């Protein structure tokens, strides 16, 4: 039997069709599967918050509380999608009071106050002992400028360590519906933040741990999962945070203890 030989015209046609298929598959991957840009992710935000956040995500120098413009490092931040997760949570549950430990340049702060502005409800507290000394007051300057037109009590800054601030807040019976833990990232500091702020979390409220890529934070999360049944983990589609909802008050006996895993993954 003779081998079939394709006509030169049809070979060229097949080649063009194959090239076209490869091109359209790549384009489809690029348009559908490609990660969204910060511009796209932050699109739902009010323009005042969006433009400052985009400027910061671009790494542009920012004003501090001293009135000067300062360069910023590009690593100290939460991601746009993490920020939008916090924003969406606050827009959906409409908290009366939110709190964050660790402000730095104020990325997370801006998502919280953007949600309060959208809700026309809510008071946000940010705690950071090094806001002026280490971060040139950049987060604070933005937060003050953005809340100066809203009600005067929509934002409060506490320039102190989270452990000391927790005692004062506890004494004044403060309660928060969302608490974002993103301060000192050592194991004992994060565990102490959780221990001190868990009683200040409203029943039905949320505690969010940032930077779950770190072994210290993974280990605190393992402790909470194993030992604090009043906090139920909420699955979220964000790789770098873990979220717990407080469903009742702490009712453990004085000798309660369950073993938990110390993270071994490398970081």
Ligand X SMILES: C[S@@+](CC[C@H](N)C(=O)[O-])C[C@H]1O[C@@H](n2cnc3c(N)ncnc32)[C@H](O)[C@@H]1O
When asked if residue 220 is in the footprint of ligand X (CB under 6 A), the reply is no
Whether the CB-CB separation of 158 and 165 falls below 8 Å is answered with: yes
Which residue lies nearer to ligand X by CB, 38 or 229? 38
Q: Which of 98, 184, 238, 263 binds ligand X (CB under 6 A)?
A: 184
How many Å apart are CA 242 and CA 223, to the nearest integer?
Answer: 13
When asked if residue 108 is in the footprint of ligand X (CB under 6 A), the reply is yes
When asked if residue 104 is in the footprint of ligand X (CB under 6 A), the reply is yes
| Rounded alpha-carbon distances, angstroms, from residue 121 to 90, 94, 124, 133, 180 | 10, 7, 10, 31, 18
Q: How far is the CB of 14 from ligand X (least distance, A)?
A: 54
How many Å apart are CA 58 and CA 121, to the nearest integer?
Answer: 30
Which residue lies nearer to ligand X by CB, 135 or 231? 135
Q: How far is the CB of 47 from ligand X (least distance, A)?
A: 20
Q: How far is the CB of 241 from ligand X (least distance, A)?
A: 11
Q: How many helices (H) and strands (E) does the chain have?
A: 10, 9
Question: What is the per-residue DSSP string for 145-181?
Answer: HHHTTS-TTSEEEE-S-HHHHHHHHHHTT--EEEEEE
Q: Which stretch binds ligand X (CB under 6 A): 63-71, 122-130, 221-229, 255-263?
A: 122-130
Q: Which of 42, 53, 78, 179 binds ligand X (CB under 6 A)?
A: 78
3-class SS of residue 234: strand
Q: How far is the CB of 110 from ligand X (least distance, A)?
A: 8
What is the chain's length?
A: 267
Nearest CA among 205, 239, 232 for reference residue 90: 205
When asked if residue 143 is in the footprint of ligand X (CB under 6 A), the reply is no
When asked if residue 76 is in the footprint of ligand X (CB under 6 A), the reply is yes
Q: Which stretch binds ligand X (CB under 6 A): 11-19, 20-28, 129-137, 229-237?
A: 129-137
When asked if residue 102 is in the footprint of ligand X (CB under 6 A), the reply is yes
Q: How far is the CB of 50 from ligand X (least distance, A)?
A: 16
Binding residue count for ligand X, defined by CB under 6 A = 22
Whether the CB-CB separation of 251 and 206 falls below 8 Å is answered with: no
Whether the CB-CB separation of 167 and 158 falls below 8 Å is answered with: no
Q: Which stretch binds ligand X (CB under 6 A): 34-42, 179-187, 196-204, 242-250?
A: 179-187
Q: How far is the CB of 223 from ligand X (least distance, A)?
A: 19
Whether the CB-CB separation of 49 and 142 falls below 8 Å is answered with: no
For the chain, the 3-state helix, strand and coil shares in percent, each to the nearest 5, are 45, 15, 40
Whether the CB-CB separation of 260 and 191 falls below 8 Å is answered with: no
Which residue lies nearer to ligand X by CB, 11 or 180? 180
When asked if residue 134 is in the footprint of ligand X (CB under 6 A), the reply is yes
201-210 and 155-158 as β-strands: parallel, antiparallel, unpaired? unpaired
When asked if residue 161 is in the footprint of ligand X (CB under 6 A), the reply is yes
Q: Contact residues for ligand X (CB under 6 A)?
A: 76-78, 101-108, 127-130, 134-135, 161-162, 182-184
């Amino acid at each position: 039997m003779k081998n079939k030989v394709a006509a030169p015209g049809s070979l060229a046609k097949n080649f063009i069709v194959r090239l076209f298929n490869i091109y359209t598959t790549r384009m489809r991957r690029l348009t559908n599967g490609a990660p969204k840009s910060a511009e796209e992710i932050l699109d739902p935000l009010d323009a005042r918050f969006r433009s400052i956040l985009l400027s910061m995500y671009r790494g542009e120098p920012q004003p501090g509380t001293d009135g000067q413009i300062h360069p910023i490092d590009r690593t100290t931040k939460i991601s746009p999608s993490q920020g939008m997760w916090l924003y969406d949570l606050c827009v959906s549950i409409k908290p009366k009071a939110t709190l964050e430990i660790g402000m730095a340049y104020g990325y997370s702060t801006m998502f919280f106050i953007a949600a309060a502005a959208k809700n026309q409800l809510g008071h946000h507290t940010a705690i950071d002992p090094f806001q002026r000394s280490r971060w040139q007051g950049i987060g604070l300057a933005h937060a003050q400028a953005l809340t100066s037109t809203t009600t005067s009590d929509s934002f409060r800054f506490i320039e102190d360590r989270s452990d000391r601030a927790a005692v004062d807040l506890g004494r004044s019976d403060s309660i928060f519906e969302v608490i974002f833990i993103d301060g000192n990232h050592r194991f004992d500091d994060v565990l102490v933040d959780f221990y001190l702020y868990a009683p200040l979390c409203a029943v039905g409220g949320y505690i969010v741990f940032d930077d779950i890529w770190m072994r210290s934070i993974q280990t605190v999360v393992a402790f909470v999962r194993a030992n604090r049944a009043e906090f139920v983990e909420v699955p979220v589609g964000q790789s770098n945070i873990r979220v717990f909802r407080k469903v009742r008050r702490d009712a453990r006996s004085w000798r309660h203890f369950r073993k938990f895993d110390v993270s071994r993954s490398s970081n």
